[in-house]
Amino acid sequence: MTLNILFRRAFSDIKQNAGTQTVTTIVVTLSLLIFVFFSFLYFNLERFVGHFGRELGIVVYLKKDLAPDRIPAVFATLQKMEGVKSVTYVSPEEAYYRLESYLKDEVNILDGVEPGFLPPSFELEIDRALFQLTRIKELAEKIARWPEVDKVQYGQEWLHRLEAFSHLTKMVVAAGGVLLLLSAVFVVASTIKLTVYARQEELEILRLVGATNSFIQGPFLIEALLQGLIGSSLAVGIIYAMYTYTKPMLAGSQLLRGLDYQFLPYTFWAPVIGVTTLACIVGTLFSMRRFLKL
Amino acid sequence: MLTAETPIISFQGVSKKYPPNHLVMSDVNLEIEKGELVFLTGQSGAGKTTLLRLLFRAELPTSGKIIVDGMDLSSLSRSQVPYLRRKIGVIFQDFKLLSNKSVFENVALSLEVLGLRKEQVKKRVCQVLEGVGLGHKMHQYPPQLSGGEQQRVSIARAVVNRPPIILADEPTGNLDKLRTAEVMLLMHELNARGATILFATHDERLYQDSPGRVLRLESGKVEVVS
């Protein structure tokens, strides 16, 4: 038996059962469409929140009377800490200039004040800050206990609110994603089962004329491969079309200013297509098992 | 190895019981020689269909041994069953044709499973369809044909791969007198070409003036009628 015969039979079946084949492909597309759309939203939400949280860091104020030769040691220790992406030293003079530029027209408030009156400090950028809110809190509390440190600030109040929001979003996304994926697999498996059931008579006749299991299964598996591949590619394609259509509209949005509105990376959608195709093939194999008992 | 004297079909002490306790065949011993035409008769429910189903291993006997063309069906693995079925052409009363496939495609199925090339399939299917008088209807679909024509398609499918054994289960049960005569003529032609035919029927007119043995299945036993 050659692949040529199996493909010929598969394409002949597709032609003869075009209606059922189309319905199964549409079911795959619709199931995947919801999942891909949800993932697309989450992907951009994550980027949005990630961008938003990039400014979220820790400010470590050192004691004013700290010997200057201790500062490099503290700098080195901070750099080595897990989760710390970068450390910037802000000298009292630098802090003073920043304050000056912040006050703008009100700068005369600083008249008579010495440029070195502010304490030296370190600004810590945290890796994926918004997704490590608990880590920020732990780090801040740990650093605060050091003898060289006077005070640690990390935007406690809104950090706690963000923490709660981020936690809830993660839960909703995870639960929703799992449910959608499960329902997609269930719908696809059921549709394939119905397709196989509808062609039970054909399977019976094939067995009667001496067809081997691989001869019977072959075309069904080729059909499942095509349904999975076309169905999932269509779902990804529709979301991509939606993305290209809405991108110019959202480009000027105040909400997204300065942010990247992006399509899902191929490292996400390629495995989705692959896994869906595989799920369709495995689903067909399982659906046919019962009918192939001799 | 099958010799000229070895029967092509052999039942050795075969019993078949359906749960809970319905005995259809009891200690049946039967031998059919190569090239024989055998009529299997008996009332409805006597077990004619069961006997045929045992031969193409759609069912297994409760006890006893069945040998078909040298293959012991009791020890046959699942993967070998398709190869047994390629030696047997089966014709049913209800034709068992695929209505969404053309006459040509229905007949070609038996050759496609053998892995034959497209050209070979086409040549042999056309030959067989011409042989049963349906060469001009090969592109039509079963629902477009009469009952007699559908049965001839079913016969073409059963013989196109030239199996040594043909099992016919009441093949004329749904046909009128004229169509029945056509089918019987085809069966005799096939037998004349060397096929072993086991023909199950309850209609005694079919075997009254026909050559071949007649066996009756009654109360689970096989009796020789003529």
Domain A57-154 CATH assignment equals 3.40.50.300: no
Helix pair A213-251, A266-289: axis angle to 10 deg: 150
Gap between the Cα atoms of A1 and A7, Å rounded: 11
* A239 three-state secondary structure: helix
Q: Is A2 within 8 Å of B115 when comparing Cβ atoms?
A: yes
Task: Find chain B residues with C-beta within 8 A of A209's C-beta.
Answer: 85-86, 109-110, 113, 157, 161
Q: How far is CA A257 from CA A42, A250, A253, in A?
A: 18, 9, 6
Q: Point out the least confidently predicted range of A81-90, A190-199, B31-40, B151-160.
A: A190-199
**How many C-beta atoms lie closer than 10 Å to residue A181's C-beta?**
19
B98: nearest CA partner in chain A? A202
The answer, yes or no, to whether residue A155 has pLDDT greater than 80, is no
**CB-CB contact of B54 with B66 (8 Å):** yes
Partner-chain contact B86 A2, CB within 8 Å? no
Helices assigned H by DSSP within chain A: 3-16, 18-53, 71-80, 92-103, 133-144, 156-198, 200-208, 213-251, 266-289
Q: Is the minimum CB–CB distance between B124 and chain A shorter than 8 Å?
A: no
The CA-based dihedral angle spanning residues A165, A87, A152, A118, taken in that order and rounded to the nearest 10 degrees: -130
Output the CA angle A247-A253-A256, nearest 5 degrees: 80
Q: Is B208 on the interface with A (CB under 8 A)?
A: no
What is the Cα–Cα distance from B170 to B51, expressed in whole angstroms? Answer: 13
The average pLDDT across A61-80 equals: 88
* A19 close to B (CB below 8 A): no
Q: Is the pLDDT of residue A163 over 80?
A: no
Please name every residue paired with B18 in a beta bridge, in sequence order, or none if there are none.
Answer: B22
Q: In chain B, where are the structural domains located?
A: 9-87+163-224
Task: Give dist(CA B184, CA A239) in Å, integer.
Answer: 64
Give the end-to-end CA distance of chain A in Å, rounded to a whole number.
Answer: 20
With contact defined as beta carbons under 8 Å apart, do B134 and B102 qualify? no
pLDDT of residue A233: 95
Residue from the list B57, B105, B157 with its beta carbon closest to the beta carbon of A209: B157
Output A185 or B185, whichever has higher pLDDT. B185
Q: What is the pLDDT of residues B136-180, one digit of tens each?
A: 999 999 999 998 899 899 999 998 998 999 999 988 887 788 888
CB neighbour list of residue B21: distance below 8 Å, 6 or more residues apart:
none
Q: Which residues of B touch A14 (CB under 8 A)?
A: none
Q: How far is CA A266 from the centre of its chain?
A: 12
Q: Of A17, A208, A217, which to mutate for an interface test with B (greatest number of B Cβ within 10 Å)?
A: A208
Report the range out of A40-49, A278-287, B3-12, B78-87 with the highest average pLDDT.
Answer: B78-87
Report how far apart, in Å, the C-alpha atoms of A180 and of each of A32, A116, A176, A205, B21 are.
9, 59, 6, 38, 50
Interface residue A207 vs chain B (CB under 8 A): yes
Contact assessment for residue B166 and residue B158, using Cβ atoms and an 8 Å cutoff: yes
3-state secondary structure at position B216: strand
Please tell me if residue A5 touches chain B, with a CB cutoff of 8 Å: yes
Residue range(s) of every CATH 3.30.70.3040 domain in chain A: 57-154
Which single residue is written with the structure tokens 């009667």?
Answer: A208
Judge: B82–A210 Cβ closer than 8 Å, yes or no. yes
Contact state of A210 with B86 under an 8 Å Cβ cutoff: yes
Question: Phi first, then psi: what are they for B199, rounded to 5°?
Answer: -115, 110
CB B47 within 8 A of CB B73: no
Q: Does A209 touch chain B (CB under 8 A)?
A: yes
List the single residue in B78, B96, B113 with the smallest CB-CB distance to A294.
B78
Radius of gyration of chain A (CA): 30
Task: Check pLDDT > 60 for residue B2.
Answer: no
Structure tokens at A101: 């530029």
pLDDT band at B122; cut points 50, 70, 90:
very high
Name the average pLDDT for chain A: 81
Picking from A166-175, A269-278, B76-85, which range would have the lowest pLDDT averaged per residue?
A: A166-175
Cβ contact (<8 Å) for A9 and B115?
A: no
CATH superfamily of the domain spanning B9-87+163-224: P-loop containing nucleotide triphosphate hydrolases (3.40.50.300)
Q: Percent of chain B, pLDDT > 70?
A: 98
Q: What pLDDT, on a 0 to 100 scale, did the predictor assign at position A27?
A: 84
Instruction: Please give the structure tokens belonging to residue A128.
Output: 């994926």
Say how many CB pairs under 8 Å bridge A and B. 56
Q: Do A206 and B101 touch (CB under 8 A)?
A: no
State the pLDDT at residue B3. Answer: 52
Closest residue in A to B121 (Cα) is: A5
Question: Would you state the pLDDT for residue A294?
Answer: 42
Q: Decide if pLDDT at B67 tops 60.
A: yes
Check B81 against A294: CB less than 8 A apart. yes
A214 touches chain B (CB under 8 A): no
Which residue from B100, B109, B115 is facing A209, i.e. has the nearest CB?
A: B109
